Structure 1
Amino acid sequence: MSVELPLADEITAVFARANRLLLTEETVSHALRLITEAATAAVPGAIGAGVSLINGSGLRQTTAASDAVVAAADALQYELGEGPCISAWASGETVRVENLASDRRWSRWAPAAAALGISSAVSCPLLSGDLALGAVKVYSDGGQPFRDGTVRLAELFAAQATLFVIHSHAREAAGTLSDRLQESLAQRDTISMAKGVLMARNGTGDEQALRELMMLSRQAGKPLARVAAELLAAAGPLEN
């Protein structure tokens, strides 16, 4: 079933801006902020939107929020351990709250959220296969109910946010691999130069020099690359 998007051109423009931003920023926080702003503008009756992810300490946090009400409502969910965002995250399914006053699923969070002026909500998981990476949520003050079309729209924003998060994780993993590769290559060069010093000093071949270097490493109880670096430092500048 097709969904009529009231701000289709604007939404397309936001997605394009966010994709360009992702290529130049160190994190996806700015791109996700664009998503929350677009969701707030596009979903009828929305008063705010946000994205929740796991932080470096393994705790849930609101990575992007369109305003303070969203951050406050999310903080209550993390503190109380209940709410539509947490439920969507845990179940991997979209959670819709038609009327917070009559909803009995979250007995502590619901009245606290109502005090913030929230009367309905929709939360969509960020799904990568069977894994939920986080959630996108949209809050409303009750001006309009979240119908099927607007819920689908929120799910589209969640799908876009998921792409940004996956891209970010892949880039970070590639960066870590690149750093390790550079370190490995540097260590290899250090060991090779240290072997050259031993070969010149003792008149031995490559294999014998490596065995001697390994013996020095065992005797000192230090990594081979560190022993090689110390040997080069003691030998001084190499002559061309």
Structure 2
Amino acid sequence: MDDTSDPRVEDSIPTDVLDGTETEQAAEIVVDAAIRKTISPAALGRMLVDAGRSIADENDLLTLLQQVAAIAHEAIEGADYTGITIDLGGLTYTAVHTDERTLRIDSDQYEVGDGPCLHAARTRSIVLLDSGDAMQRWPAFAAAARTEGVHSFLAAPLYTDDLTLGSFNLYGRAFHAFDSLDAEILDLLTTAVSRAIGDFARFKSAEDTAESIQRVLQTRAPIEQAKGVLMAMRGIDADEAFDVLRVQSQATNVPVRVLAVDFLDKVTGSAGEQN
């Protein structure tokens, strides 16, 4: 499958590129909380949302989802690929991902209309299974996942009392990559961000919530992609990469998104000419 051929995954943004030590420390806190019950989901949520700051808009929500996905990916050893599915208001798409393979697996799932991630969201239950069980329940999806080398699935619903947003999804290459502790860790993380999501969506319908997040994704996706390319090309971090775009935007009076799209077009064109 062409990585950009499915509109349900093409605007997904990569997990937030945090400082390695910062992500590791957050992951250690989450693991310890799941094992020793040292912190409540509410307290963890306040920590993840900058000491309890409310989610004011879609950008804040997506930043939180990026951060939590990065932490889950670090905290759960068997997670080779991680993503977040939005599934509400008649819309289904991937908001956050760690890599292109995540997007291909998600796209295969959306194509058949069912699978571990969608099942977790729609039933508000954790899904933990290997490809053998998945093959019995969702044969078309499981077969496609196997071609990507994925044999284990762990998905946890993301929801409030009034709204089901979607699911956090972890894929593993190994058989039996996830266990009950991993499920507890992921459940703790999803529970921790539920209050923030509830604050954000309190006065929105499911359809409005899904559409507004998707609109912001369409704006942010090229910016995040351009940041990633700049980081790789120049050996800089995410903040420095954004500063490069921001400074150029101010100097040329061209919106950052437009600059990002032009930059990506040039990079893609140059790579094509070299090939």
Q: Report matched runs for 1:1-240 at 5 Å.
A: 7-8=28-29, 18-20=48-50, 23=55, 26-27=58-59, 28-54=61-87, 58-97=90-129, 99-101=130-132, 103=134, 104-129=136-161, 131-142=163-174, 145-170=177-202
CA distance in 1, matches of 2:74, 2:128: 19
- Following superposition, the deviation at residue 127 of structure 1 comes to 3.0
Q: Unpaired runs of 5+ in structure 1?
A: 177-240
- Following superposition, the deviation at residue 102 of structure 1 comes to 5.1
Residues 9 and 165 of structure 1, relative CA distance in 2, 3 Å threshold: closer
- Following superposition, the deviation at residue 169 of structure 1 comes to 1.2
Contact preservation (8 Å) 2:79, 2:177 = no
Q: Deviations over 1:155-178 (max 9, x none)?
A: 1122123233222213768xx9xx
Contact preservation (8 Å) 1:101, 1:114 = no
Contact preservation (8 Å) 2:85, 2:167 = yes
Q: Unpaired runs of 5+ in structure 2?
A: 1-25, 34-43, 209-275
CA distance in 2, matches of 1:31, 1:11: 21
Contact preservation (8 Å) 1:44, 1:144 = no
Letter of the structure 2 residue corresponding to residue 119 of structure 1: H
Aligned length: 168
Residues 58 and 76 of structure 1, relative CA distance in 2, 3 Å threshold: same
CA distance in 2, matches of 1:11, 1:66: 24
Residues 9 and 154 of structure 1, relative CA distance in 2, 3 Å threshold: closer
SS of 1:44 mapped into structure 2: coil
Q: Deviations over 1:30-79 (max 9, x none)?
A: 11011111101000211122211147x73111111122222221121111
SS of 1:108 mapped into structure 2: helix
CA distance in 2, matches of 1:22, 1:101: 42
Identity, % of aligned pairs? Answer: 22
- TM-score normalized by the length of structure 2: 0.53
RMSD: 3.2
- Following superposition, the deviation at residue 22 of structure 1 comes to 5.8
CA distance in 2, matches of 1:162, 1:116: 31
Contact preservation (8 Å) 1:85, 1:124 = yes
- TM-score normalized by the length of structure 1: 0.59
Residues 160 and 65 of structure 1, relative CA distance in 2, 3 Å threshold: farther
Residues 30 and 122 of structure 1, relative CA distance in 2, 3 Å threshold: same
